[in-house]
Structure 1
């Protein structure tokens, strides 16, 4: 116990000596600065300015790195959400999630002012926005079971939405297929009908504009794949 007390006293003594030495050095430095201030003040000022500039530059660099990192993470998440979902995962989505998926696919393809408007009193539209060429669009999204069929009356509702929103293009996106009458109705009225077959290629790598070139084809018809490849070469994804 006595030895431990002795070590503690010696440590306190050493700390006191170091504190006195630091105080003496500080006093000497202040005295020297006071004596030679007229000579050294430009250098001191320069060092302080350089320190401030360096601190600001470091802070800006660090902020830029953080912003870039967050932006990269957001873009990666958006790419996963918008273009890497399997149709099985899409089938498990809620209606709102499916609408968000379609909105993200549009943004991926360069569409702007894209927003989801689906819900109560949506006037027959779920997503609105503008195509890369500036035309306005209105989209109806239906996440139905693959065994279901889209009837013509649902496309008529979309026509009403196109008039209500004053859109140039109406798009109907579904996880199932269109009946023959509804598919014919879509072609007659200039509606882009994106059925399950085309949703798969859009969700994977095709752009929305490339789907316009094969509108009315597919739904299990093997011939549409050749037409899609030709359209894809003209309208690659953005």
Structure 2
């Protein structure tokens, strides 16, 4: 028992000694700083500025990482929500809901500055924004019945919108298919024609930019058209 009390007493005495040494050292440094202030102040101020700059840089980096993390999580959540929608659900959307759906898919793929501009005076555009590679884009969205077809004049309207808004890429997204002439008009003029089959791929996770690689590659083979007729006719 006595040995334990003595051990505690020794520990307290050591803490007191360390505290006393620290106080003496601090006072000594303060005295030296006052005495030699004229000599050391540039270094002192420079040190403070360096530490402050490092702290500000760390804070900025940390804030940027938090923002990127939240943005990544948001995109992931949007991708999950978009992936859970079937084309049958898309068919029941209103025109405005379909435009919002396309906006969500664009943001999921890393497009920026994406916004809806559709309306009674939309000048042939429903969505504007930038592709992940930085190119500006205009999108025309048409939520039509799968039995319908996109005529050439609607593709030409989108070409006019590309000129009007002075963008790099024009994209036509629809829940149905293009006529043969309208698909050729799109491909010949550099319009990315996202028909129903491509929309299904996009909804399931294929990126928007990769759809340009199959642009004009057709709208289903004979068996596909037969199944389509059984479903919608």
**Range of TM-score over shorter length:** 0.5 to 0.7
- Once residues 155 and 138 of structure 2 are traced to their aligned partners in structure 1, the CA distance between those partners, rounded to angstroms, is 12
Q: Does 1:79 align with 2:79?
A: yes
Residues 1:76 and 1:207: Cα distance change in structure 2 (over 3 Å): closer
- Once residues 109 and 72 of structure 1 are traced to their aligned partners in structure 2, the CA distance between those partners, rounded to angstroms, is 11
TM-score by length of structure 1 reads 0.62
Instruction: Tell me how far 1:120 sits from its aligned partner.
Output: 1.6
Helix, strand or coil at the partner of 1:159: helix
- Once residues 127 and 98 of structure 1 are traced to their aligned partners in structure 2, the CA distance between those partners, rounded to angstroms, is 11
The answer to whether the 8 Å contact 1:177/1:219 transfers is: yes
Q: Does 1:90 align with 2:95?
A: no
User: 1:38-187 maps to which residues of 2 (within 5 A)?
Assistant: 75=75, 77-187=77-187
Which runs of no fewer than 5 residues in structure 1 stay unpaired?
1-66, 223-238
C-alpha offsets along residues 85-124 of structure 1, whole Å, 9 cap, x if unaligned?
1100100111111001111111111110001111120110
Q: CA RMSD in A?
A: 2.8
Residues 1:93 and 1:191: Cα distance change in structure 2 (over 3 Å): same
State the match for 1:236 in structure 2: none
Tell me the number of residue pairs that the alignment of Structure 1 and Structure 2 aligns: 163
C-alpha offsets along residues 51-70 of structure 1, whole Å, 9 cap, x if unaligned?
xxxxxxxxxxxxxxxx9xx9
The answer to whether the 8 Å contact 1:197/1:218 transfers is: no
TM-score by length of structure 2 reads 0.63
The answer to whether the 8 Å contact 2:115/2:127 transfers is: yes
Helix, strand or coil at the partner of 2:98: helix
Instruction: Tell me how far 1:84 sits from its aligned partner.
Output: 2.5
- Once residues 143 and 167 of structure 2 are traced to their aligned partners in structure 1, the CA distance between those partners, rounded to angstroms, is 22
The answer to whether the 8 Å contact 2:174/2:199 transfers is: yes
State the match for 1:218 in structure 2: 218
- Once residues 212 and 189 of structure 2 are traced to their aligned partners in structure 1, the CA distance between those partners, rounded to angstroms, is 13
- Once residues 71 and 207 of structure 1 are traced to their aligned partners in structure 2, the CA distance between those partners, rounded to angstroms, is 18
- Once residues 133 and 71 of structure 1 are traced to their aligned partners in structure 2, the CA distance between those partners, rounded to angstroms, is 18
Helix, strand or coil at the partner of 1:213: helix
Which runs of no fewer than 5 residues in structure 2 stay unpaired?
1-66, 223-233
The answer to whether the 8 Å contact 1:177/1:195 transfers is: yes
- Once residues 118 and 176 of structure 2 are traced to their aligned partners in structure 1, the CA distance between those partners, rounded to angstroms, is 19
